[in-house]
Amino acid sequence: MVHVPNIKLNNNLTIPAFGLGTWQGPPGKEAEVGLAVKDAIDIGYRHFDCAHVYGNEDIIGEAIKEKIKEGVVKREDLFITSKLWVNYNRPDLVEPALRATLKRLQLDYLDLYLIHWPFAVKAGDNLFPSNSKTDPTIFSNVDYIDTWKAMEDVQRKGLTKSIGISNFNSKQIDRLLKHATIVPVINQVECHAYLNQKKLRKFCGERGIILTAYSPLGSPARPWQKPGDPSVFNDDKIREIAQKYGKTSAEILLRYIVQLGDSVIPKSSNKERLKQNIEVFNFELLPEDMEFLDTLDCNGRICSFDNAKDHPHYPFSPDVEF
């Protein structure tokens, strides 16, 4: 069984440094995730990153239930994250949204619940509200501070062990901390060799917040990819380092994040790749290779949610450095 180290959170709980991403990019592939979760549990994965918007919490819930029933794991061995989608950021919708997630996952509590994005869209059950196919998204002006207060309430009620944020920038975190009673344990952000988040990691670390790195392989199957987009996954320089260690590019990219100290959540639905990915704890990159990988940073963000760029709580405006 693979041994995955834990990272200590600011509330003295821990998060496994490695987990499985469950966002299935291409539509129609939702069912694959059930098999992937079951394979992953057999391999030794204990940390699963879910979200309402991924549309597969029910399938993941079934897979987890099956593995608990088989006696392979107990609920308390698992670390399950989910995220509040932006149509439920209004404070009175947070608890019902979390309860619906728990129902789909067939769980009594989450280990971690995250605000998925700091901006909100029109409240209601439509995840992507717009007036027509060509119209832009209908946004709302819910303040993430008010959402956070409701997140604190659901933690107090025991519906989740910890709460955190995702896609928040440094200014938003500072503002949140001025109003928060509970400090977020995690900021889940895009992080890979083209966007290594050095400044945000330091900033969050000084405030007791750990980063979880999403799209650590550069999300090579993301639906909005265009031909010619830069690809960290296919970078020749990473391939060269991989050859030097007798590893794959994926292993080098994942080991890089692990050595930066984040929790990392690559997605795979392939049993061999699930095994390969979690074995990044059995080798180490030399300091000179870490330094070289640092030089590849080029602010290469791929998950930028451009639709929301004019929203006052959009996190990636050019006027905010990190």
Ligand X SMILES: O=C1CO[C@H](CO)[C@@H](O)[C@@H]1O
Q: Where does this chain bind ligand NDP (CB under 6 A)?
A: 21-23, 49, 116, 166-167, 188, 214-222, 248, 250, 265-270, 273, 276-277, 303
The 246-285 site mask, x for binding ligand X (CB under 6 A), equals: ----------------------------------------
Q: Per-residue DSSP letters for 35-49?
A: HHHHHHHHHT--EEE
Which of ligand X, ligand NDP, none does residue 305 bind to, with CB < 5 to 8 Å depending on kind? ligand X
Q: What is the 3-state secondary structure (H, E, C) of 195-246?
A: ECCHHHHHHHHHCCCEEEEECCCCCCCCCCCCCCCCCHHHCHHHHHHHHHHC
For ligand NDP, the nearest residue by Cβ is 21
Are 89 and 142 within 8 A, CB to CB? yes
Does residue 61 contact residue 107 with C-beta atoms inside 8 Å? yes
Residue 63 binds ligand X (CB under 6 A): no
Q: Which does 53 bind (CB under 5 to 8 A by kind): ligand X, ligand NDP, none?
A: ligand X
Residue written as token pair 């010619």: 228
**Cβ–Cβ < 8 Å for 29, 275:** no
Q: With CB cut-offs between 5 and 8 Å by kind, which of ligand NDP, ligand X, none does residue 268 bind? A: ligand NDP
Q: Which is nearer to ligand X, 53 or 102 (CB)?
A: 53
Q: Which of 249, 242, 245 is nearest to 220 (CA)?
A: 249
Residue showing the smallest CB distance to ligand X in the complex = 23
The size of the interface with ligand X (CB under 6 A), counted in residues, is 5
Smallest separation (angstroms) from ligand X to the CB of 240: 31
- Per partner kind, with CB cut-offs from 5 to 8 A, the member of ligand NDP, ligand X, none near residue 296 is none
53 is a contact residue toward ligand X (CB under 6 A):
yes
Select 52 or 67, whichever has its Cβ closest to ligand NDP: 52
Closer to ligand NDP at the Cβ: 9 or 280? 280
**Helix, strand, or coil here: 152?**
helix
Asked about 245 being catalytic, the answer comes back as: no
Is 179 among the annotated ligand-binding positions?
no
Catalytic residue among 54, 194, 256, 314: 54
Tell the smallest beta-carbon distance from residue 211 to ligand NDP (Å): 11
Return d(Cα 172, Cα 220) in angstroms, integer: 29
Structure tokens, 201: 């990691």
Strand partners, 192: 195
- What letter represents residue 219's amino acid? S
Give, rounded to a whole angstrom, the gap between the first and last alpha carbons of the chain.
38
Separation CA 211–CA 197 (nearest Å): 9
Among 305, 307, 316, 322, binds ligand X (CB under 6 A): 305
Binding partner selected for residue 11 from ligand NDP, ligand X, none, CB under the kind-specific 5 to 8 Å limit? none
Binding residues for substrate: 116
In the complex, the residues that contact ligand X under the rule CB under 6 A are 23, 51, 53, 303, 305
